[in-house]
Structure 1
């Protein structure tokens, strides 16, 4: 198909001729999936679903395709699930404050679609929950009691 469509010829007849000639040359023989029915013909076509499926096949994160409200809801679920991975209570407070600021900013802007409720996080409650997920601090090792030697036992051996 490197040739250009000749002037005065309809596009459809030119394409059909190109396909017919390629089939006669056998260029379509032995293609993967030949003779098998096309998948998902029973479902209606949606450009969004197609793009999400393509992104999944290519190994991309589809959460970037979500509307802002749904992305925040998903982030909230992930944050609550992975709360134990945070290193300190101060980090919990910082993550909660950042998340709550972004939720408030979302509600300040006009809605892009249907209203999606995203609840704010309670920093004190999450800090307590984070503390419950942390392993109990290990007991310090018993300090070795130094052996006291009397002064008359300290003289050098002969």
Structure 2
């Protein structure tokens, strides 16, 4: 030992002497899924293990592109065409604002494309109509099933009634 031992080093040494580090799970075994070819393996595993949302760490242009990929399905919850247009116009405004940022480095800047508001509103209308048709068909199926159940129950009641009358006569 050297002449100076820090408090932390002393506590570690004493814990080793007491055997507190013996028989730990995984002791003497390699780390599972250790990838030496990927320097960021531990960050990726942490994100996966902790279920972290890293969308806030993405460059703005990538998050804008990712958002555009979800159109028009992500707009189905909106009830009015006016609200859909407002969301899409806000998206286009944010894309244009992102383009005003200065380029960093020697590479050409990566940009996100603006969206055609009228085209996406048309797609939204089509999806909403399809959704309403499916809902109507599901309601009609449920109603038909309910009517069939009622008819079946009525037939069983009639049959039971016939049997009761026959049994009374005998």
TM-score (norm 2): 0.61
Superimposed CA distance per residue, residues 53-96 of structure 1 (whole angstroms, 9 cap, x where no aligned partner)? 43442232111110111111112223444232322211110110
Segments of structure 2 that go 5 or more residues without pairing to the other structure are 137-170
Q: Which residue of 99, 105, 125 maps to 2:91?
A: 99
Determine the C-alpha separation between the residues in 2 that align with 1:108 and 1:95. 20
Q: Secondary structure at the match of 1:82?
A: helix
Residue aligning to 1:122: 116
Shifted more, 60-69 versus 18-27: the winner is: 18-27
Segments of structure 1 that go 5 or more residues without pairing to the other structure are 1-7, 139-158
Shift of 1:106: 0.4
Does the Cα contact within 8 Å between 2:72 and 2:124 map onto a contact in 1? Answer: no
Residue aligning to 1:69: 61
Q: Which residue of 18, 25, 33 maps to 2:18?
A: 25
Shift of 1:107: 0.4
Q: Which residue of 17, 38, 42 maps to 2:36?
A: 42
TM-score (norm 1): 0.65
Shift of 1:18: 5.0
Shift of 1:108: 1.0
Superimposed CA distance per residue, residues 88-113 of structure 1 (whole angstroms, 9 cap, x where no aligned partner)? 21111011010000000000111246
Does the Cα contact within 8 Å between 1:56 and 1:62 map onto a contact in 2? Answer: no
What is the aligned-residue RMSD (CA, Å)?
2.9
> Which has the larger share of helix?
2
Determine the C-alpha separation between the residues in 2 that align with 1:60 and 1:103. 26
